[in-house]
Amino acid sequence: MQKWGERRYYSLDYYIREAYGEKMYKLSLDGGMTCPNRDGTLGNNGCIFCSAGGSGDFASASSLSVAEQIEAAKQMVQAKYSGHSFIAYFQAYTNTYAPVSHLEDIFLQAISHPDIKIISIATRPDCLGSEVLDLLRRLNEMKPVWIELGLQTKHQETADFIRRGYDLSVFEIAVNSLRAIGIPVIVHTILGLPGENHTNMLDTVSYLNQKDIQGIKFQLLHILKNTDLAEYYSKTPFWIPTLDEYNDLLGDCVALLRPDIVIHRLTGDGPKPLLIAPLWTGDKRRVLNSITKHLKSLDIWQGKRYTKN
């Protein structure tokens, strides 16, 4: 465990340096897709927490080609990163929800760029048909491909409330299918969903510990303007954790999580102009420093808690 140093968990930065010998920066891209939860196939309004940007509020404009988006995104991060190795992150909406010909075109634009070392594709477990899986297999032979699946919770009652639109068995089939073709799976979870308590959230982590997944993203629930969740919250306020409460919850998640799973995210930062709550997430540096301090104070390492006051 000491190999993780100050982080006390298997961070994405540590994994990248360990596996590829260098630092990489992630570029958010928009493949110009929608979602079955928005186009009428399953629904029209998306998941209850989803903004108009479909979780891609920080991505480049979809009116640009993927190659143009990569160059624009590189320019935006020049002040933070002077290297030439990047992860192409297809983030907005459901990034395998299109004809395979379109998917092949945009993913090849990314994979052929000399500065792109890895492609990470965010999608839904119910949007991974056989032709899509075959394309992903072929791409993975060219450069590493990661798939990010939005599970959010293992609990069906919560999943129905947030309008996830698929059963847990669909997620399990997707994980098995991706692992069968050698593609790493990163799972998105949301902490603080309405109706879930501390135990419910830890149940989701325990469930994922039993699955063949390689990464996880812990996302604190954000209430954003112009979402159905914002309307619900205005009429039916529910528990939103303070920073100290989130530290305690996240510490329990980290201590429980299998130590070989890479933690890609410990929280999240919704667009400040849209953020209703919790407002303390707007200061990301303060939040991450607070989490680090909390893990140290209780001697928490990923996969093990030594003490708790």
3-state secondary structure of 243: helix
CA 248 to chain centre: 21
Residue 223, both tokens: 């209430």
Rounded to two decimals, what is the model's pTM?
0.93
Please state, in angstroms and rounded to a whole number, the distance separating the CA atoms of residues 188 and 88: 18
Residues 2-304, CATH architecture: Alpha-Beta Barrel (3.20)
List the beta bridge partners of residue 162.
none
- What are the residue ranges spanned by the domains of the chain? 2-304
In tens digits, the chain (309 residues) has pLDDT values of 557 767 899 999 999 999 999 999 999 999 999 999 999 999 888 899 987 654 544 556 778 999 999 999 999 998 888 889 999 999 989 999 999 999 999 999 999 999 999 999 999 999 999 999 999 999 999 999 999 999 999 999 999 999 999 999 999 999 999 999 999 999 999 999 999 999 999 999 999 999 999 999 999 999 999 999 999 999 999 999 999 999 999 999 999 999 999 999 999 878 889 999 999 998 999 999 999 999 999 999 999 987 544
E strand residue ranges, the chain = 25-29, 86-90, 116-123, 145-152, 185-191, 215-220, 223-224, 262-265, 275-277, 300-301, 304-305
